[in-house]
Structure 1
C-alpha cells in the first residue's frame, strides 16, 4: 500500500520561500518510492519578497500559499486542512522561507518562534509516532519544537559553508544534538522519528544534494 506523505512548502524561491531544487528532489524521490503525495502551505503573508536577480528585498507583498502553488502546479491546500490521520509521514523542504515564513529563525535565531499551525502539525505527527523529514534549514523547526531531538544541518567546522557551524551551535544550545553528516547522508533520530539531511546548507553539486534528499526520503518511507 502506498505511503501517504504530506509535503509542506514555504513559498517559491530560495531567498523568501521553499528552495525549488529541494522541493523538486523531495517530490521526485517520493514518486520513485511509490508514495502518494499531497502538498500544503500556510495561508499567510511572506515576511518579505526578495528580488532573486538582485538579491535584495522589494516593497511587494506575496502570500505563502499562493506562491507555493507555483511549485505544486496548483495542487495544494491550506495547511489548516492537513489531517494527520490521512497521512503516514510529513516532509519539509528547505529554503529561507522556512526560516522567514514558517518560523522567525532568520531574524531571531534560536530565540525564534514557530508559526502556530506549523508547530501544531509537527506535534500532531510526532504524537502519533509518524516520521518527519526535514532538509536544509528545516531541521531548526524540530530543534525548536522537540527538545532533545537529534538533527543534522551538515558538517560542523565546514570551511566551505561556515553558516552550518553557527546553525549547529544554535541547535546544540537549544538542548538538541547536532550530528555532523555529509551532503549525501541523512540522519535518523529513531526515538523521535525525525529524519534530516543538509541539502544546500552544504556547498555541494546539485546531484549530491539530490542524493542526500533521496536518503532522507527513503528513511522517512521506511519509518512510515
Structure 2
C-alpha cells in the first residue's frame, strides 16, 4: 500500500485549506488504495470570518484548525520524514498563500514556511511525486522553479505570470482536469481557482490527480 503525506494549511478556504478540496483529496487517495497521513505546521495564524469575508482579531493554531479536517489524526509538519512516505500532496485554499507561504503578499518573491520548503525539496530530491491543488502549486513553483517544473492554477493570467517569474512553467487547464509534469513528477489541478466551479468538477480534477499520484508512487 502506497503511503501519501497530505499537508494542510488550516480549515476554511479564506484562511486555511479549502474543505471541499481537502476532503476530495482524502477520499480520492483512499479510493486509489493509498494509506494517507495528514500533517500541518504548528504555527499561529490569523482568522477570517467566512460569512463576512473579513479578518477577525483572534488568532488560532494552524495545526489545531487543520485537525478539524483530519478528524484529529494529524501530526506537526516538522515530524514528516520523506523516508516514511511515497508521495506528497497539498490541497488548496488561501492558507497555502498566507500560512504556508506569503505568496498572497509577495508573489514570486515570497518566502515559504521552512518545513514546507524542506519537505518539497526532500520529496523532489528523492524522486517521489508531489501533487498540489488550486493555489497550492505556487508553493512548488517557488521552491522548484529553478528545476523548470510545470504546474497549473487554471487560466488566471496574473497568477500564471507570477509563476513564470519563479522559473517554473505554467500550463492552462480546465477545472475538471489536471496537468502532469512527468520529468519533475509533479501533478497539479486548478480546483477552486475557478470561482464558479461546481464541487463535482473540483472532485473530478482532484480524483484524476490523486490516482495519478498514487500510480507514480
* TM-score (structure 1 length as normaliser): 0.94
Q: Given the alignment, which residue of 206, 210, 213 partners 1:217?
A: 210
Q: CA RMSD in A?
A: 0.7
Alignment of 1:145-184 (within 5 A): 145-147=143-145, 148-155=148-155, 164-184=156-176
Q: Given the alignment, which residue of 196, 201, 223 partners 2:188?
A: 196
Deviations 1:162-183 (A, max 9, x none): xx21111111122211001111
Gaps of 5+ in 2: none
* TM-score (structure 2 length as normaliser): 0.97
Matches of 2:211 and 2:203, distance apart in 1: 12
Deviations 1:30-81 (A, max 9, x none): 11111101000000111x2101111100100101101000110000000011
Q: Secondary structure at the match of 2:68?
A: helix
Q: Which structure's residues are more often strand, by fraction?
A: 2
Matches of 2:157 and 2:21, distance apart in 1: 21
Matches of 1:128 and 1:176, distance apart in 2: 19
How many Å apart are 1:132 and its aligned residue?
A: 0.2
Gaps of 5+ in 1: 156-163
How many Å apart are 1:126 and its aligned residue?
A: 0.4
- List, as ranges, runs of 4+ consecutive aligned residues in structure 1 with deviation greater than 2 Å: none
Q: Secondary structure at the match of 1:37?
A: strand
Where does residue 158 of structure 1 map in the other structure?
none
Name which of structure 1's ranges 165-174 and 15-24 shifts more when overlaid on structure 2. 165-174
Would you say how many aligned residue pairs link Structure 1 and Structure 2? 214
